[in-house]
Amino acid sequence: MKALDELTFDNRFARLGDAFSAHILPEPIDDPRLVVASLAAMALLDLDPAVADSPEFAELFSGHKLWADAVPRAMVYSGHQFGSYNPQLGDGRGLLLGEVYNQAGDHWDLHLKGAGQTPFSRMGDGRAVLRSSIREFLASEALHALHIPSTRALCVIGSSTTVWREKQERAAMVLRLAPSHVRFGHFEYFYYTKKPEQHQALAEHVLAMHFPECREQPQPYLAMFRQIVERNAELIAKWQAYGFCHGVMNTDNMSILGITFDFGPFAFLDDFDANFICNHSDDQGRYSFSNQVPIGQWNLSALAQALTPYISVEDLQETLGLYLPLFQAHYLDLMRRRLGLTSAEDDDQKLVEQLLQLMQNSGVDYTLFFRRLGDQAPDQAVAQLRDDFVDIKGFDAWAALYLARVAREGDLDQDQRRTRMHAVNPLYILRNYLAQKAIDAAESGDYSEVRRLHAVLSNPFEEQPGMASYAERPPEWGKHLEISCSS
Ligand code: AMP
Ligand code: MG
């Protein structure tokens, strides 16, 4: 276990030089105070849990103090936003403080979001508000607990500094952890600005740091692109299987590691709705829930374009062609498991699609349906769940297919089935209304709710005593909360 001043830094990205990032010091926020910390994330840095409560912790993660070995940098990148190319993005309000090594030899980027203006801030104030910092923190740690790859969050630090959004709000900072902060947009930036030397240096850096095994391949860049396609196909399969809607799948928000990245107006589905648009600013529904699948491919094509100096168009196209089949295979595998199936049959895809259509028509809760399906023996479970469907005849027809399908798997022990299904079907998810309640309390200075919610979501598959209310469907006020890009 380490004290805060024992972290070891090695700033490899900073060493790439000024063409890749600008050296900027964090601009502190006033009266820093700990809102919430993730002990699990602290463990990734070998940090002693006790340090979270020290004044130094709040000072370090609010820009008041800095390690002597940290070299804070604002990264430059560009990207496609809502389908249009934006030539200059970059870290407008976040800084890569440095890369920390833990005892196991893993390295973690420490990224402080809300750390003030940078050369890439454009018209922005360089700040993040408490509300969006809490949402990023909770989502990062909740996704991780659901086994969905994501950036992690170490803590949120609140302040008395005021910032203006649609109204006056308090500034905060969130400390994000990831093995890399390189986005698709990094490659796009050097491709479109026609800087072949830097472009290649970036590619070599990413290859060496994050895809070392690809260097053994005859075409290392192609092997790397293939891995990026595979990881993103698997990631988006997990989003779709668990009802996670990212909200702003711009290419600057896509990680080369295939981890969920840059949280804004995200949402987990309450009722199943394939057409759900979680981002209030997304008028066209470009990033609706079901569009995430083709948008994943669109974004990978944007990355492919930026890799044309190294890889032939034929090879890029062939590799892009792997995305959809890989997505479908992962998705179907997850959905089979969510249904409690242990074998594969040709018609399983249809079984899933029919169920989702029925859920869509009746507005059935996407999380609780699967949880309850495992609670009891299959015939008893479907008999109970039937009441949630408006189209009872339709549901009965589906249930008959499902029960026959389960029967073909042979004898089953309900205790084992429940354990198996509950291990993949969470009871608790980060519903927007739960996040909102925690945010409302935190905005009035009470951090107990955000801490409790974080604790519940850290263990989403296990029923926790006294926490039944966290598994409930949203109340009327919490069903259609409007979450915008403003953060
Ligand atoms: P995001 O929507 O958070 O992915 O941000 C898109 C771009 O806008 C990135 O380049 C951000 O750094 C920048 N940005 C967002 N909010 C701010 C802000 N308050 N101040 C400066 N830059 C910002
Ligand atoms: Mg972003």
**305 and 350 share a domain?**
no
Q: For ligand 1, is residue 132 a contact (CB within 6 Å)?
A: no
Q: What is the pLDDT of residue 485?
A: 76
Q: Specify whether the CB–CB gap between 250 and 286 falls below 8 A.
A: no
CA-to-CA distance for 149 and 482, rounded, in angstroms?
26
Banded model confidence at residue 411, pLDDT cuts 50, 70, 90:
confident
Give the position, in ligand 1's atom list, of the atom nearest the Cα of 89: 10
Model confidence band, residue 383 (pLDDT cutoffs 50, 70, 90): very high
**Residues whose CB is less than 8 angstroms from the CB of residue 313 and which lie 6 or more positions away in sequence, other chains included:** none
pLDDT at 63: 98
Ligand 1 pocket test: pick from 77, 81, 82, 93 the residue with the most ligand atoms within 8 Å of its Cβ: 93
Statement to judge: residues 327 and 391 lie in one domain: no
Residue 484 pLDDT greater than 80, yes or no: no
Is 451 a domain residue?
no
Q: Both 267 and 254 in a single domain?
A: yes
Pocket test for ligand 1, best of 121, 164, 181, 255 (most atoms within 8 A of CB): 121
Average per-residue pLDDT in the chain?
97
Are residues 78 and 113 part of one domain? yes
Question: What are the DSSP calls for 316-363, one per residue?
Answer: HHHHHTTHHHHHHHHHHHHHHHHTT--S--TTHHHHHHHHHHHHHHHT
Among 153, 181, 209, residue at a domain's last position: 181
Structure tokens at 240: 């779709």
User: Residue 302 CB: number of other CB atoms within 10 A?
Assistant: 21
pLDDT of residue 399: 98
In this structure, are residues 12 and 20 in contact, taking their beta carbons and an 8 Å threshold? no
Per-residue pLDDT tens digits for 42-87: 999 999 999 999 999 999 999 999 999 999 999 999 999 999 999 9
In 3D space, the residue among 289, 150, 307 whose CA is nearest the CA of residue 229 turns out to be 307
Position 438 in a domain? no
pLDDT digits (tens, 9 = 90+) for 228-256: 999 999 999 999 999 999 999 999 999 99
Ligand 1 atom nearest to 117, measured from its CA: 21
Q: Choose the final residue of a domain: 305, 332, 359.
A: 332
pTM of this prediction exceeds 0.95? yes
Ligand 1 contact, 92 CB (< 6 A) = yes
Decide: 127 and 165 in contact? Cβ < 8 Å.
no
How would you class 284 by CB atoms within 10 Å of its CB: exposed for 0-12, middle for 13-18, buried for 19 or more? exposed
Could you tell me if residue 452 is inside a domain?
no
- How many structural domains are present in the chain? 3
In a domain, 480, yes or no: no
Identify whether 444 is part of a domain.
no
Same domain, 260 and 136: no
pLDDT in tens, 251-292: 999 999 999 999 999 999 999 999 999 999 999 999 999 999
**Which one is predicted more confidently, 477 or 211?**
211
Range of the domain at 294: 185-332
Q: Is the pLDDT of residue 479 over 90?
A: no
Report d(CA 342, CA 375) in Å as an integer. 17
Q: Are residues 41 and 163 in the same domain?
A: yes
Half-sphere exposure of 37 (CA within 13 A, CB side): 17
In a domain, 311, yes or no: yes
325 and 205 both lie in a single domain: yes
Residues 146 and 232 in one domain: no
User: What number does the ligand 1 atom closest to the CA of 125 have?
Assistant: 20
With a cut of 90, say whether residue 398 has pLDDT above it. yes
Q: Is the CB of 91 under 6 A from ligand 1?
A: yes
Residue 275 burial by CB count (10 A; 0-12/13-18/19+): exposed, middle or buried? Answer: exposed
End-to-end CA distance of the chain: 34
Same-domain status, 106 and 230: no
320 is a domain residue: yes
418 and 349 in a common domain: yes
Q: Do 135 and 37 reside in the same domain of the chain?
A: yes
- Whole-angstrom Cα distance, residue 397 to residue 310? 53
Where residue 178 falls among pLDDT bands split at 50, 70, 90? very high
Q: How far is the CA of 123 from the centre of ligand 1 (A)?
A: 9
81, part of any domain: yes
pLDDT exceeding 70 applies to what percent of the chain? 100
pLDDT of residue 412: 85
The verdict on 325 and 354 lying in the same domain is no
Active site residue 252: yes
Q: pLDDT confidence of 483, banded at 50, 70, 90?
A: confident
Q: Tell me which of 422, 455, 471 is where a domain ends.
A: 422
